[in-house]
Chains A and B, each alone.
Chain A
Amino acid sequence: MSSKINGHVSPQPCPHLLDFRSRNGPKPFRALHDCIRVKPPGGCAAIRREPSEVPRCGTCEESSRSRLYACVACAAVFCHAPLLHSHASDHALSIPGHEIAVDVDRAELFCCACGDQVYDRDFDAAVVLAQTVNATATTSTSGSTAMQCSVAGSQPENLRKRRRVDYRPWEPDSGEHISRGNQSIPLLDATNASLVSSTQQPWGLRGLNNLGNTCFMNSILQALLHTPPLRNYFLGDRHNRYYCQQKNGAINGTKNSRLCLACDMDAIFSAVFSGDRTPYSPAKFLYSWWQHAANLASYEQQDAHEFFISMLEGIHEKVEKDKRKSQSPAGGGDCCIAHRVFSGILRSDVMCMVCGFTSTTYDPCVDISLDLEPNQGGSGKSSSAKSLNSCNVEADCMHPNQNGGISTLNGCLERFTRAEKLGSDQKFFCQKCQVRQESLKQMSIRKLPLVSCFHVKRFEHSSIRKMSRKVDRFLQFPFSLDMAPYLSSSILRSRFGNRIFPFDGDEQDASNDLSTEFELFAVVTHSGRLDAGHYVTYLRLSNQWYKCDDAWITQVNESIVRAAQGYMMFYVQKVLYYKESENQGTS
């Protein structure tokens, strides 16, 4: 019933649909196009001959209980309740050529003879276009930043399917047997058990000394030290600083060994998880990072997010120079541990308002930067009326008191994936029209990373006005987060329903791969002013929260964390998050 064309699965038309098309000329659904009505609040498409028509079955007057279908050939409306009676089927069987009908409330084609949905590319294109045109009438023109909209080829690059491997428990090989005996230290034995149990704190909690306005670095390091996949990688000796090729300069083993940020990370992991509780000074790491990011080398205050990005780049650079590793596709995340953990893929759809042609591009990303909503004045109405996504924002309209005008992380994500009209100064060159046209752009997430980092844009820099300011507004963030509504498959489906898209809408359901549920494990907060502020990280270990303020680590109540001013929030896939029992690691 379906065939693959260029990797896209298109449902084959049934014989009745084929017959209908062949007998009704090149545009068999042309008359229907005028009847497509897009209904607020959800933006769903319906079929109505007049805008206020109440559809009713021509045979039995039924209008409320069953699905109603309009015959495409003669526009007569009939009910269809397969369990009881179907006047739509009666009609279809009695008049040849009248088998194809359209669901009046969903604008989906149906073959009454086959009893199944059918799909027609032209009809679906018309519906998608109608919904898009409706979107522009209701979406406000926001001054969105112009991202480069590269025109993609006819299809995106082939994304590799994840290979499944059977589980086999680990057995040490001969080399590992030896090193186990000689060099490794058991985590808990008679000698260090007392050290650990005396403090009653989980493993890996150690203060970091401030070396001079380095709280930006300490806060990010604390978050990374407890990022589960990253922690497992380094504690699992996957990057050994003694054997590292990069650092030892495989070409010439000079004394000035080339810097490797991953080795320095390895050293910090060893130090922090050693069981020693006295505060640690990451001076070597700071020095290495200065060499890597020379423009940021100073004792001035820095932005934690900038540091985070430059750190990931630093770890990535190491592997890129290894010529043996083949260049993996963008976003594949196979290049280095930093990308394996943090890299996801964003999808951007830019749709021409005039002809509906859509250009889809995929870009890898290591985090998502979110804008805080502009001041709403507490009513919350401004954001909800213009949305296309049906369910989530409609809640705001229904229950204006529910969030009381407080910004939430989900609200920011919803805004991030909302369709926006690109301003008239950002007209996009449409391949089909061959001119610049006004367009609608929508972001969604094609592939979720193992760890999602959300960065709240609290620091606004205006080069025009030559000033910067900090946005202090409170942002509410959840401890558990489901990213399903922001995936590409969800966004497209909630906008258009069951369609063949005139652009690439067919994707394997991302929820089949890994779960979409995430758990919060680290929050980096900023307090103070833009030029004089302080970063603090809150970590969630064994379901307890710990405040990491440079060298001071204290256990805090979760209410403190909820009330904190979040700047960067780190979420890990729930399947990787171990809600350890409280007694683990302590005697």
Chain B
Amino acid sequence: MSRPPPPPPTTNKDQQHQNPSLQEINIKLIQSGEKERLKELLRERLLECGWIDEMKALCRAFTRKKGRNNVTVDDLVHVISPKGRASVPNSVKAELLQRIRAFLASTAD
């Protein structure tokens, strides 16, 4: 199994003092382990508010309609993504945003 060449670096010196890009934020979050913690927090909040159960029900209904052997993961993602994104409670969005802001503030260069 051969390994592909490493990707070229994306950050250049000019960007460091401007607003960090999405990629840079993402890297920071991953490397500090904060992304994992945020994912766990999000999972818990979505579980508490019943969002996960709603999505499960949507998937079940769709699968029942199409037949168990005619459904792929991509189909399910396609079907529930719009409804899923729209039905995340605002309080959950706000909480996560707040945490990300706090994290970025605490790790600002």
Contact = CB atoms under 8 A, between A and B. Distances in A.
Interface stretch (A112-120, A268-276, A436-444): A112-120
B43 A390 contact: yes
B73 A83 contact: no
A39 interface: yes
A274 B71 CA distance: 59
A463 interface: no
A63 interface: yes
A500 to B, nearest CB: 16
B105 interface: no
Nearest to A89: B74
A229 to B, nearest CB: 27
A147 interface: no
Interface string B35-77: 0110111011001000000000000000000001100111101
Contacts of B78: 82-83
Given A64-B22, A398-B41, A116 B72 contact: yes
Nearest to A12: B69
Contacts of B77: 82
B87 interface: no
A296 interface: no
A110 B74 CA distance: 10
Interface string A52-65: 10101010010110
A75 B44 contact: no
B92 interface: no
Given A41-B40, A391-B44, A58 B26 contact: no
A251 to B, nearest CB: 55
Contacts of B75: 115
Nearest to A42: B40
Contact of A116 (B41, B44, B73): B73
A58 B5 CA distance: 9
Contact of A390 (B1, B4, B40, B69): B40
Contact of B1 (A73, A114, A117, A395): A73
A39, A64, A76 pick with most chain B CB within 10 angstroms:
A64
A75 B36 CA distance: 23
B91 interface: no
A63 B11 CA distance: 14
Interface in B1-34: 1-4, 7, 10, 22-23, 26-27, 30-31
Contacts of B7: 56, 58, 61
Interface residues of B, number: 29
A42 B36 contact: yes
A54 B10 contact: no
B98 interface: no
A246 to B, nearest CB: 47
A21 B33 CA distance: 35
Contacts of A391: 40, 43-44, 47
Nearest to A31: B1
A394 B44 contact: yes
A269 B82 CA distance: 57
B72 to A, nearest CB: 4
Nearest to A498: B73
A190 interface: no
B36 A76 contact: no
Contacts of B23: 61, 63-64
A75 B43 contact: no
Contacts of A39: 36
B26 A63 contact: yes
Nearest to B46: A391
A83 B20 CA distance: 27
Nearest to B70: A1
A26 B69 CA distance: 28
A560 interface: no
A75 B3 contact: yes
A64 B47 CA distance: 23
A484 B41 CA distance: 19
Given A83-B78, A115-B72, A52 B40 contact: no
Nearest to A24: B1
B58 to A, nearest CB: 16
Interface string A105-137: 000001000111100000000000000000000
Nearest to B36: A39
A40 interface: yes
25 contacts: A41-B37, A42-B40, A49-B3, A54-B27, A58-B4, A58-B7, A61-B7, A61-B10, A61-B23, A63-B23, A63-B26, A74-B1, A74-B2, A75-B1, A83-B81, A115-B72, A115-B73, A115-B74, A116-B73, A116-B74, A391-B44, A392-B44, A394-B41, A395-B44, A398-B41
Given A40-B36, A392-B44, 13 more contacts: A1-B68, A39-B36, A54-B30, A61-B7, A73-B1, A74-B1, A75-B1, A75-B2, A75-B3, A82-B74, A110-B73, A117-B73, A398-B37
Interface of A: 1-2, 31, 39-42, 49, 52, 54, 56, 58, 61, 63-64, 73-76, 82-83, 110, 114-117, 390-392, 394-395, 398
The 3 A-B pairs of least Cβ separation, nearest first, read A116-B72, A64-B26, A115-B74
